[in-house]
A and B are shown apart, each in its own frame.
Chain A
Amino acid sequence: MTVLLTVENLTQRFGGLVAVDNVSLDVEEGSIFSLIGPNGAGKTTLFNLVSAIFPPSEGKIMFGERALHKAHTHQLAEFGIGRTFQNLAVFHHATVVQNLLVGLHHQLKANILTAPFFWGRPRDEEIKARRRVEEIIDFLEIEHLRDLPVGQLSYGLQKRVELGRALAIAPRLLLLDEMVSGMNAEETEDIARFILDIRDEFGITVMMVEHDMGVVMDISDRIAVLDRGQLICVGEPGEVSQNPDVINAYLGKK
């Protein structure tokens, strides 16, 4: 197995607060890697660092040859990293199709000089893009929602659209921040199935932050546990659920 993502001595400070504290971990290609921990543990911050939303205070993040700690957010799609956001960041007024098309941005070529004269290359690429979007729509079973503004959909379906938009990037690594929070049991089950299919059918490595322990234990290959910014344990689901530090971090507070 090859390592796809390497995090080395990563630290992020916000003023006096150390949100991520000297974290090192490896994510293997083709695995489902979960990041868990209590509220405020620094999970989303770690995701933001990996997706170059801001540069880390210290440390390195390598994605193959790419140094993510020095990258710009907009380069990530091209590198092959797609993500969803904890607080849903879909384009509310746009339809499902339009949302997914945005994910294809870096694979298209139209620019301000060619776009006004649509008929020709921009049109051909739009037709191709439309086809690709249709495949994702089929995969996520949202054919009937295709032309609806995303803002009109239920929370669970909006999350599904956001997943589709991240898939449109054609990522090698997919970062999912709390996909199933706020979903009912059936929606949660659908998402778990999609995540497995994404890995098995498309060979995409999945890194996810999740509070739903059922999903985490069921589908993860490896789990990392963060507590107050520190990595307290990494391992397979069986090991992690037995780890005294983990039990303490979760139960000690509640």
Chain B
Amino acid sequence: MRTGNHIESYPRHISLSDNPVVWFWLVALMAAMIVLPAFSGLFVLGLAIRILIAAVGAIGLNLLTGSTGQISLGQSGFLAAGCYTTGLLIADYNWPPELALPMSGIVAAALSFLVGIPSLRLKGLYLAITTLAFSFIITQFLLFAEPITHGPYGVRIEDTVLFGFDLADPTTMYYFCLGILVLVTLGVLNIMRTRVGRAFNAIRDQDIAARAMGINLTTYKLTAFAASSFIVGLAGGLMAFQFRFINVDIFSVTLAIEALAMIIVGGLGSVAGAIIGAAFIILLPEFVGDAIGLLPAGISDVLARGALEIKGLLIGLVIILTLRLEPDGLIGVWRNLKRYWSRWPLSV
């Protein structure tokens, strides 16, 4: 408890949240997530799986871009590396899926040094372009190193059984992804309340002061790259089980832009924001698609043919609106609401 300006318990002060209301809503949300498959059809479940995987990827990207301030357009490259690692290890090398999935994270983290080391002296736009180039190199490699990667033919994954659970079953896949998301969320929240997370933020906000406080920029930037890529690699590994037939075409630049949109819309630097942003960006085209369906047949046909362009347009629009109206994103809106209500009626 807090009484005025005095602290009675330190453990409580470093807990993830000392607000019972927050815990209540978290438990309610988890309960809803757990019972979801009982009430939803295949379509909704598929959508939910996409959101869960996107959320894992967004949390990873957010650790690098939101928390450490290193802009990355390399998301597709790391997702591809993770996805192909799991896919190839299972399909060609008969690795058990239980080992292939963590390996996705490790391979992506190792690859992150390729882009992390040259990036040590780069900032902002230059870093963004370097990571984009990295992404191209990865996808080109996957396409042309046919003897290793099957090149343009793609990889089919037959063995999808982890610890006795078959991920080819949507309900099982859903719970598995939910589990991974919960673990990744807890892991990153924990990182952020230790010196490692504070070092990330310090590098983002004031790099000279960070150094004067004893933070080794090289170590922590590379750490941020590796940790972020590990998580994104895991998300890529999950995609292998989601698609079960993987192909380089999945990993376009659009994917990297979408990932950036998720963390911007959700709120840069916030783990909860990354999850909310992932849900928002995945659901947005669905809702807009439904809305278009309601329009008169002539118009909706025209719009449906340009679905991909409309999606791109929407994402761009949402990014601009967020930066313009609420740079702290949806999580910022939520914080403002919370402040408003906890002070009501004094807050008007």
Asked whether, in the complex, the Cβ of A115 is within 8 Å of the Cβ of B196, the reply is: yes
- Give the CA-CA distance A91 to B211 in the complex, in Å: 13
- Give the CA-CA distance A75 to B217 in the complex, in Å: 11
Contacts of B202 in A (CB 8 A): 91, 102
Asked whether, in the complex, the Cβ of B212 is within 8 Å of the Cβ of A146, the reply is: no
Closest CB of chain B to A11's CB: distance in Å?
22
B10: interface (CB < 8 Å): yes
Contacts of B191 in A (CB 8 A): 112, 115-116
Q: Mark B202-225, 1 if CB is under 8 A from A, else 0.
A: 100110111111111100000100
Q: How large is the interface on A (under 10, 10 to 19, 20 to 34, 35 or more residues)?
A: 35 or more
- Give the CA-CA distance A75 to B210 in the complex, in Å: 11
Contacts of A94 in B (CB 8 A): 198, 201, 205
- Give the CA-CA distance A212 to B206 in the complex, in Å: 27
Q: Which of A24-32, A62-70, A124-132 contacts B (4 or more CB under 8 A)?
A: A124-132
A20: interface (CB < 8 Å): no
Asked whether, in the complex, the Cβ of B212 is within 8 Å of the Cβ of A83, the reply is: yes
B20: interface (CB < 8 Å): no
Asked whether, in the complex, the Cβ of A115 is within 8 Å of the Cβ of B197, the reply is: yes
Among residues 102 to 126 in chain B, which have CB atoms less than 8 Å away from a CB atom of chain A? none
Contacts of A204 in B (CB 8 A): none
- Using CB atoms, name the residue of chain A closest to B328: A93
- Give the CA-CA distance A215 to B162 in the complex, in Å: 70
Contacts of A74 in B (CB 8 A): 211-212, 214-217
B13: interface (CB < 8 Å): yes
Asked whether, in the complex, the Cβ of A73 is within 8 Å of the Cβ of B13, the reply is: no
- Give the CA-CA distance A213 to B344 in the complex, in Å: 49
Q: Mark A50-70, 1 if CB is under 8 A from B, else 0.
A: 010100000000000000000
- Using CB atoms, name the residue of chain B closest to A104: B195
- Give the CA-CA distance A115 to B187 in the complex, in Å: 8
- Using CB atoms, name the residue of chain B closest to A147: B2
Given contacts A74-B211, A91-B202, A101-B198, contact A116 B5 (CB under 8 A): no
Closest CB of chain B to A152's CB: distance in Å?
13
B339: interface (CB < 8 Å): no
Among residues 6 to 39 in chain B, which have CB atoms less than 8 Å away from a CB atom of chain A? 6-7, 10-11, 13-14
- Give the CA-CA distance A108 to B202 in the complex, in Å: 16
Main SS class of interface, B: helix
B338: interface (CB < 8 Å): no
Q: Among A77, A115, A146, which residue has the most Cβ atoms of chain B within 10 A?
A: A115
Given contacts A108-B195, A112-B226, contact A118 B190 (CB under 8 A): yes
A117: interface (CB < 8 Å): yes
A183: interface (CB < 8 Å): no
B227: interface (CB < 8 Å): yes
A13: interface (CB < 8 Å): no
Asked whether, in the complex, the Cβ of A105 is within 8 Å of the Cβ of B5, the reply is: no
Closest CB of chain A to B102's CB: distance in Å?
14
- Give the CA-CA distance A127 to B193 in the complex, in Å: 11
Among residues 124 to 147 in chain A, which have CB atoms less than 8 Å away from a CB atom of chain B? 126-127, 129-131, 134, 143-144, 146
Given contacts A91-B206, A105-B198, A127-B11, contact A112 B213 (CB under 8 A): no
Asked whether, in the complex, the Cβ of A51 is within 8 Å of the Cβ of B198, the reply is: no
A194: interface (CB < 8 Å): no
Contacts of B205 in A (CB 8 A): 91-94
B292: interface (CB < 8 Å): no
- Give the CA-CA distance A98 to B269 in the complex, in Å: 15
- Using CB atoms, name the residue of chain A closest to B191: A115
Contacts of B223 in A (CB 8 A): 112
Asked whether, in the complex, the Cβ of A127 is within 8 Å of the Cβ of B213, the reply is: no
- Give the CA-CA distance A251 to B195 in the complex, in Å: 49
Asked whether, in the complex, the Cβ of B209 is within 8 Å of the Cβ of A106, the reply is: no
Asked whether, in the complex, the Cβ of A165 is within 8 Å of the Cβ of B13, the reply is: no
Given contacts A123-B14, A130-B14, contact A73 B211 (CB under 8 A): yes
Asked whether, in the complex, the Cβ of A116 is within 8 Å of the Cβ of B190, the reply is: yes
A37: interface (CB < 8 Å): no
Asked whether, in the complex, the Cβ of B213 is within 8 Å of the Cβ of A103, the reply is: yes
- Give the CA-CA distance A165 to B215 in the complex, in Å: 13
- The contact of A89 among B6, B10, B196, B209, by CB within 8 Å, is B209
Contacts of A126 in B (CB 8 A): 14, 193-194
- Give the CA-CA distance A163 to B227 in the complex, in Å: 32
- Give the CA-CA distance A93 to B194 in the complex, in Å: 17
Asked whether, in the complex, the Cβ of B201 is within 8 Å of the Cβ of A78, the reply is: no
Given contacts A127-B10, A131-B10, contact A76 B197 (CB under 8 A): no
Closest CB of chain B to A167's CB: distance in Å?
12
Asked whether, in the complex, the Cβ of A53 is within 8 Å of the Cβ of B194, the reply is: no
Closest CB of chain B to A106's CB: distance in Å?
4
A111: interface (CB < 8 Å): yes
- Give the CA-CA distance A31 to B193 in the complex, in Å: 37
B49: interface (CB < 8 Å): no
Asked whether, in the complex, the Cβ of B213 is within 8 Å of the Cβ of A165, the reply is: yes
13 A-B pairs (CB sep. < 8 Å): A73-B208, A74-B211, A82-B212, A98-B201, A101-B198, A106-B213, A115-B197, A116-B186, A118-B193, A127-B10, A129-B195, A131-B10, A144-B5
Nearest 7 pairs between A and B by C-beta?
A: A77-B214, A116-B187, A106-B214, A118-B190, A89-B209, A73-B211, A110-B194
Interface residues of B (CB under 8 A from A): 5-7, 10-11, 13-14, 186-188, 190-191, 193-199, 201-202, 205-206, 208-217, 223, 226-227
